[in-house]
Amino acid sequence: MPTIFSKIIAKELPSEMVYQDDLVTAFKDINPLAPVHILIVPNKEIATVDDVEVDDEPILGRMFTVAKKVARDLGIAESGYRLIVNCKQDGGQEVYHLHMHLVGGRRLGRMLAKKED
Ligand code: AMP
């Protein structure tokens, strides 16, 4: 099912796009949680990690190589960063179009809160 990300990929909605190719698109998160906060999304509509198929492996691999490139382009490759993929309700996924968060530019602290917020 299409989400707002499909319209961003198709450039029917504005975004601050930093990269696009035949498989993936990367753009700035509208509500950044760190100095660098980019979303890397497959151009294909895949709702969640639970929906990926073996045939999607080239897309999933491209998401990582693009994460590396964008991190380098934005100057956080040396200091480091975190890649986050939320899945469904308990994972905190809000937009049901698979996406990888690339966050960095500051110390990010613990990977998980110790208990439920
Ligand atoms: P998640 O909670 O993993 O599904 O993350 C969804 C992310 O999409 C959030 O960090 C939102 O800030 C971001 N987001 C929602 N709408 C837009 C938009 N139009 N442009 C850029 N980022 C968006």
Q: What is the 3-state secondary structure (H, E, C) of the chain?
A: CCCHHHHHHCCCCCCCEEEECCCEEEEECCCCCCCEEEEEEECCCCCCHHHCCHHHHHHHHHHHHHHHHHHHHCCCCCCCEEEECCCHHHHCCCCCCCCEEEEECCCCCCCCCCCCC
**Averaged pLDDT of the chain:** 96
Instruction: State the residue range of the domain holding 43.
Output: 4-104
| 110 falls within a domain | no
Please determine, for residue 116, whether its predicted confidence score (pLDDT) is greater than 70. no
Exposed, middle or buried: residue 27 (CB in 10 Å: 0-12, 13-18, 19+)?
A: buried
Q: Indicate whether residue 91 lines ligand 1 (CB < 6 A).
A: no
Residue 20 lies in a domain: yes
Look at the chain and report how many structural domains it folds into. 1
- Which residue's alpha carbon is at the smallest distance from atom 15 of ligand 1? 30
- Domain of 33: which CATH number? 3.30.428.10
pLDDT tens readout for residues 54-95: 999 999 999 999 999 999 999 999 999 999 999 999 999 999
Ligand 1 neighbour 117 (Cβ under 6 A): no
Q: Is residue 29 part of a domain?
A: yes
Rg (CA), the chain: 14
For the chain, the residue count is: 117
Entry pTM: 0.96
28 Cα–ligand 1 center, Å? 9
Identify whether 115 is part of a domain: no
109 in a structural domain: no
62 or 116, which is more confident? 62
Query: Residue 41 pLDDT more than 70?
Result: yes
- Kindly state whether residue 9 falls inside one of the protein's structural domains: yes
State yes or no: pLDDT of 49 exceeds 70.
yes
117 pLDDT more than 70: no
Establish if 113 belongs to a structural domain. Answer: no
Q: Classify residue 114: in a domain, yes or no.
A: no
pLDDT digits (tens, 9 = 90+) for 100-114: 999 999 999 988 877
